[in-house]
Amino acid sequence: MSEFPGKAVIAGVDGMTSSLTAVRWAAAEARRRRVELRLVHAFDKDSLEYPQPLPTREELADMARIRGQRLLRKAREIAREAAPSVETQLILRYEKPAQALLTMSEDAGLLVLGPEEIRPLGRMLVGSVSIGLAAHAKCPIAVVRPHAAEEEAPTEGAVVVGIDGTRTSEAALALAFEEASWRRAPLVAVHTWDDAFLSALFEEARWTLDAREIEERESEVLAERLAGWQEKYPDVAVDRVVVRGRPADELLRHADRAQLLVVGSRGRGGVAGMLLGSTSQHVLSYALCPVIVARSQGEGKP
Closest CA to 137 of 170, 103, 169: 103
Closest CA to 137 of 15, 30, 280: 280
Rounded to 5 degrees, what are φ and ψ at 125?
-90, 145
Task: Name 101's Cβ contacts closer than 8 Å, sequence gap at least 6.
Answer: 10, 12, 40, 42, 111, 113, 133, 137
Question: Distance of CA 64 to CAs 15, 23, 69, 93, 178, Å?
Answer: 12, 20, 9, 11, 39
**CA–CA gap between residue 108 and residue 139 (Å, rounded):** 6
Q: What is the pLDDT of residue 113?
A: 92
Q: What is the pLDDT of residue 237?
A: 96
**CA–CA gap between residue 90 and residue 103 (Å, rounded):** 16
**CA–CA gap between residue 165 and residue 118 (Å, rounded):** 33
Q: What is the pLDDT of residue 256?
A: 85
**CA–CA gap between residue 253 and residue 215 (Å, rounded):** 20
User: Helices marked H in 127-209 — which ranges?
Assistant: 128-136, 167-183, 196-204
Q: Contact 237/243 with Cβ under 8 angstroms?
A: no
From first to last of its 302 residues, what are the pLDDT tens digits of the chain?
345 456 999 999 987 878 888 999 999 999 999 999 999 999 886 665 655 556 777 888 888 889 999 999 999 999 999 999 999 999 999 998 889 999 999 999 999 998 765 554 444 445 567 778 888 889 999 999 865 444 567 778 999 999 987 767 888 999 999 999 999 999 999 998 775 544 554 555 444 556 677 778 888 888 888 988 989 999 999 999 998 888 899 999 999 889 999 998 865 444 444 456 788 888 888 888 999 999 875 433 44
Q: What is the pLDDT of residue 161?
A: 96
Q: What is the pLDDT of residue 47?
A: 65
Q: What is the pLDDT of residue 188?
A: 96
Q: What is the pLDDT of residue 224?
A: 87
